[in-house]
Structure 1
Amino acid sequence: MNWLFTQLKAHPELAFFLTIGVGYLIGKIKIGYFQLGSVTGTLLTGVLVGQLGIAIGADTKAIFFLMFLFAVGYKVGPQFIQGLKKDGLPQVFFAIFVCVGGLAVAYIAAKVMGYDLGYATGLLAGALTQSAVIGVGQDTINSLPDLSAELKTQYNNSIPIAYAVTYIMGTVVFAWFFSSFGPKILGIDLAKECKDYEAKLGAKMDDPGVMPAMQMNALRTYKITNGKFANRKVAELESSFAPTAAFVTRMRHEGKVIDPNGNVVIVPGDIVVVGSKSKDLVEHEKEIGEEVYDPELMDFKIEFLDVVMTNKEFLGKTLGDIVQEKGHDFRRNVMVRKITRIGHELPIQANLTIQAGDVLTLVGKLEDVERVAKTVGTPDRRTDMSDMVFVGLGILLGGLVGLLSFKVSNIPLSLSTSGGALISGLLLSYWRATRPTFGAIPAAGLWIMDSMGLCAFVAIVGLISGPGFIAGIKAVGISLLFVGIAVTFFTCAIAVLGGRYLFKFHPAILFGACAGSMTTTAALGAIQENAKSKVPVLGYTITYAVANTIKTIWGAVIVFLLV
């Protein structure tokens, strides 16, 4: 062990990767729906390894932090900008309301307890579960001209101590409050409310075939032996599946393989390939005829294609409106298998409003999928390469803008390079959503920038601040843990009660909006588990995008409030 410790001190790069590996391992530990998470696991590991006195360059962490913040902006940009428009304004204002409430509670707690800039910033970061506050807070403290280098070091080392103490319980309280306690104090059954909301959405469909058409389960091949469809049009066979949507994708008509339209007249003995929901295909077999094996007829290509919604003709409209306006033939042989917004899969409903940057996963016959994809948006084909020109110059541009400053009461104010990188990511990702011919960052690359960027940053923070961690805990005492729980609890109460009685959100949307406003994915998972529904994510996406930006900026605001 002495040899290992000696090598880690002599080669800090090895200590760094030890911290990353063990940190992610600890972060995977899961108890129920609570998971410590890679960020906290890495920070705690860094603090532990840092007890060895690892000498690692402090400036290195800034590189990873800028990469992380640009990735955050890139992920949420389209939804953030879309949320500023009319339809998303209530959720935007709610996110601002909750973020301001959380900041106020943390500020009051810090003042009452007499915490310095470091502990106050760490309390805010941990109790509101926003890791990015650490970096922004440290940047802001370093920019204060009247602080000595010794005080800056002391405050910078205090931030991760307070964060580590308060974050774990912050995550637990958010998940518990929003999934269990919140519905109880409102006197509601969250699962029933979500079920009713889903029924409400479905009941508004004008076209009875809209909702089932959003998911295709199978293709089956039948020989027409039932006289019910003899000498009738293909469109009549398809409409017999109503309210489920169905398409005759291909058929052997009078011995010849053709790609039919709805006007082809079926004759006895024809063989048809029908695409629809598996359950309905089984139920309709007796009405159509026996299922047969015809390899030549089934010899065509099926495509799964992600399409970024960019066509302004469709943005702001519901799925039901789009299908009704475009008609049956427009969507022929094409189903919407999945809709994703900020990495979260949305419940497919006819009244789901499409926003810029939403990703629709289309599935169906190759040529038909390509046809529909070009009409509704821009295909997002899988690639292993990130546009590093876009990334590098984007971070540079944001950082330079962030360095611009102005003075208020002799205090220089600026976005800092970190805030500039975040804003750059927001704006450039929205630009890409409207013109997705550049700036591609595949999911794996974005994960590296996001997760690895932040974890690398906090790993270095932990290694640097490790030696002072124990002393810091002794200085503030166990009271910091309970202060953090109080800040989290009161912020939860502000969110739930304000969302219900001030903003009057439906409970199915409210708790997703609460989780989004606290940027707590663990809470969203707990809410969906308790609600037995994906509906809460409808309130999560816009609020998450807005709150992720605002709470990051709070790292600077809390410093200026207390300086």
Structure 2
Amino acid sequence: METLSSLLGPQPMMAMFLTIAIGYLLGEVNVKGFSLGVGAVLFVALFIGWLAPKSAPAPMVGTLGLALFLYAVGVQYGKQFFLGLTSSAGRKANLIALSGVLLAGVVSVLFLKMTNLETGHALGLFAGAGTSTPTLQAAIVKLGNDDPAVGYSVAYPLGVAGPILFLYVTFMLLKPKIEMPPGGGLELLEIAPQESALKGKTIGDLLASLPAGIEIAALRRAHHNLPATHSMALAANDVLLVTGPSREALEGAARQLGEVHEGRIMGDRRDLDYLRVFVSRPTVAGRALADLKLPDGKPHVVVQVRRGDADIVPKPDLVLEFGDRVGLLAHRDEFGALRKFFGDSIKGTAEFSYISIGLGMALGFLLGAINFPLPGIGKLALGLSGVLIVALVLGNMRRTGGLNWTIPLSANLVLRNLGLTLFLAQVGMSSGPKFAATVSQTGFLMIGLGAIVVVALVLPILVLGLGVFKMPFDEVAGIVAGACGNPAILAYSNKLAPTDKPDIAYAMIFPGMTIIKILFVDIVPAFLGG
């Protein structure tokens, strides 16, 4: 042990990356469906930190990692975040999360009277159970001592492992059905409408009567294929090329319109052929389809946009991002011009503006450093939550003039996972010695109290979300992750329910709940005389 400690102590970077490697290896161990995933990095880091205290990397490493994670999440889900706040479902999700956060705070305060716990220790348990470093910083500043760090170091590992265990047990007991988003590509079907369905109608009129998600991409008239537009009047003997999310949806449209005529359009590629291009030009990314000035020439039409593993219906207001794959129907003579227009480079899947991410992160740190005055209480600083708030705003704006704020999904995932891993490794290695010392001094008392605070935080959310409001499991898992705050919980939620709902709920919940936690530790000492 001493040899290993002396080897790792002078080499913090080597120790950190060794911690990451071992953590990911252990995270893949699966016991009856349960595995810690990236959360295992934290527990390996606690052990390495205890074994070799001098090996802990500088705090800036963890700050950078968490900031990268928060910025990547915010930029990707900014639009969904603001849409959620304006919806009844979004407000309900925030209230559910608030119930858990406030109950955890109340339980922490009760420990002050029941166990003669120090005010700092109680606030530290609250901050650690909610894995909120900004809350810990606020408590230390408010009390003027390091007592909160003791409770935080004990409760923090429980605040990561506890919610993960709750989600695992809930998932195994309920065995919820997760509705996966369609990712197999859009389906095509050629339909010849009945003449009674065509009289005096345009393609736009016809689409208004069809189910959502159904689009008409092209039509065949007089032995020629033409791109479809909403203003185009329909005529007898037209054959329509219809796209939809599933074969069943298209067959339903065929029963409504007429009969299937396969091979008329797709069998003749003289006028229109299929082309798929990557979006990699900065002048195209960040713009809506309706705003694009496609090259002049023979007619062409966008029929598909694929982002990550999902196909998106190409509505006029759809904003393109770097790395999107755009499917078009066009004449082969136009293929070269269209490839040049969109860029068509696979590098676009990992391309983003360092100017935008630099400005965005700088604005986030600036917002987090501002002290907002609170009458009768003092001042409030948002800390790293400022990075997330700015990223959410920029993600909703998507583009400002010539500056594109979005990050391609593949690059976003790399930044997010790298940031999360660095954060967990640094925090765990730094907390290892204090965690071990606290446990040895207080026995299991502090651990038991921390566990109760975690239960008070998570249980109300699960009961209200799943039991009272009957919400989908993946959405409730995201609310749990957002209320608890730790990225490892979000990562585990995504593993159990690989949809967008955990990420969206996390982005919608996390900023507000972080502010509530900070306010709590700022306000409570004023009433307790601490």
TM range (shorter): 0.5 to 0.7
Q: Is the 8 A contact 1:309 1:357 kept in 2?
A: yes
Cα deviation, residue 458, structure 1: 3.0
Q: 1:438 pairs with 393, 399, 404, which one?
A: 404
User: In structure 1, what is the Cα distance between the partners aligned to 2:431 and 2:465?
Assistant: 39
Q: For residue 324 of structure 1, what is the aligned residue in structure 2?
A: none
Contact map agreement 1:303 1:365 (CA 8 A) in 2: yes
Secondary structure of the 1:301 match is strand
Flag the 1:437–1:96 CA change in 2: closer, same or farther, 3 A: same
SS for the counterpart of 2:362 is helix
SS in 2 for 1:35: coil
Report the Cα offset of residue 43 of structure 1. 1.8
Q: Structure 2 matches for 1:162-173, cutoff 5 A?
A: 162-173=155-166
* Residues 1:295 and 1:452: Cα distance change in structure 2 (over 3 Å): same
What residue number does 2:510 align with? Answer: 548
Q: For residues 289-328 of structure 1, what are the alpha-carbon distances to aligned partners after superposition, in whole Å with 9 as ceiling and x for unaligned?
A: 67999474596124488999997x9xxxxxxxxxxxxxxx
Residues 366-407 of structure 1, C-alpha deviations (whole Å, 9 max, x = no match) = 469xxxxxxxxx999944233222222333333334333367
Q: Report SS of the residue matched to 1:263.
A: coil
Paired letter, 1:18: L
> Which SS does the other structure have where 1:420 is aligned?
helix
> Percent of aligned positions with the same letter in both sequences?
21
Amino acid at match of 2:506: Y
Cα deviation digits, residues 54-76 of structure 1 (max 9, x gap): 24454424333333343344344
Are 2:22 and 2:41, in contact at CA under 8 Å, matched by a contact in 1? yes
Cα offset, 1:477, TM superposition: 3.0
1:146 aligns with 2:119: no
Aligned 8 A contact 1:515 1:524 in 2: yes
Q: Give me the whole-angstrom Cα distance separating, in 1, the residues matched to 2:471 and 2:311.
A: 13
Structure 1 residue 14 displacement after superposition: 0.9
Q: Contact between 1:250 and 1:297, CA under 8 Å: does it hold in 2?
A: no
Equivalent residue letter for 1:288: H
Instruction: Provide, for residues 78-136 of structure 1, a one-character-per-residue CA deviation record: whole Å limited to 9, x for no partner.
Output: 333333335556325524533443443442464344555675456445645xx4x0x21
The unaligned stretches of length 5 or more in structure 2 are: 291-299, 332-341, 483-488
- Partner amino acid, structure 2, of 1:334: V
C-alpha distance in structure 2 between counterparts of 1:173 and 1:305, whole Å: 42
**TM-score for both structures, normalised by structure 1:** 0.63
Residues matched between the structures, number: 475
Structure 2 partner of 1:159: 152
Contact 1:8 1:14 in 2 (8 A): yes
Alpha carbons of structure 1 residues 58 and 259: separation in structure 2 relative to 1, 3 Å: closer
Q: Distance in 1 between matches of 2:497 and 2:43?
A: 29
Q: Secondary structure at the match of 1:413?
A: strand
Pair 1:456-2:457 in alignment = no
- 282-291 or 549-558: bigger deviation: 282-291
Shift of 1:174: 3.8
- 2:234 corresponds in structure 1 to 263
Q: Cα offset for 1:158?
A: 5.0
Out of 385, 404, 422, the residue aligned to residue 370 of structure 2 is: 404
Measure, in 2, the Cα distance between the counterparts of 1:146 and 1:436: 46
Q: Secondary structure at the match of 2:515?
A: helix
What do the CA deviations read for 1:332-362 (whole angstroms, capped 9, x no partner)?
Answer: 8736878x9xx9x8999xxxxx999999x89
Q: Distance in 1 between matches of 2:274 and 2:453?
A: 56
Q: 1: distance between equivalents of 2:240 and 2:360?
A: 52
The two structures have a TM-score, normalised by structure 2, of 0.67
* Structure-2 residue corresponding to 1:78: 79
Contact 1:83/1:91 (CA < 8 Å) preserved in 2? no
Between the aligned partners of 2:109 and 2:320, the Cα distance in structure 1 is 38
Equivalent residue number for residue 218 of structure 2 = 249
Question: What whole-Å deviation, never above 9, does each CA across 1:420-440 have from its counterpart, x for those lacking one?
Answer: 333322333333368794223
Q: Distance in 2 between matches of 1:525 and 1:483?
A: 29
- SS of 1:365's equivalent in the other structure is strand
Please give the per-residue CA displacement for 1:463-503, whole angstroms capped at 9, x wherever unaligned: 223233322222343355544454344444533555689xx
SS at match of 2:366: helix
Mapping for residues 376-387 of structure 1, pairs under 5 Å: 382-387=348-353
RMSD: 5.6
Evaluate the alpha carbon distance shift between residue 555 and residue 460 of structure 1 in structure 2; reply closer, same or farther with a 3 A threshold: farther
1:15 shift after superposition: 0.9
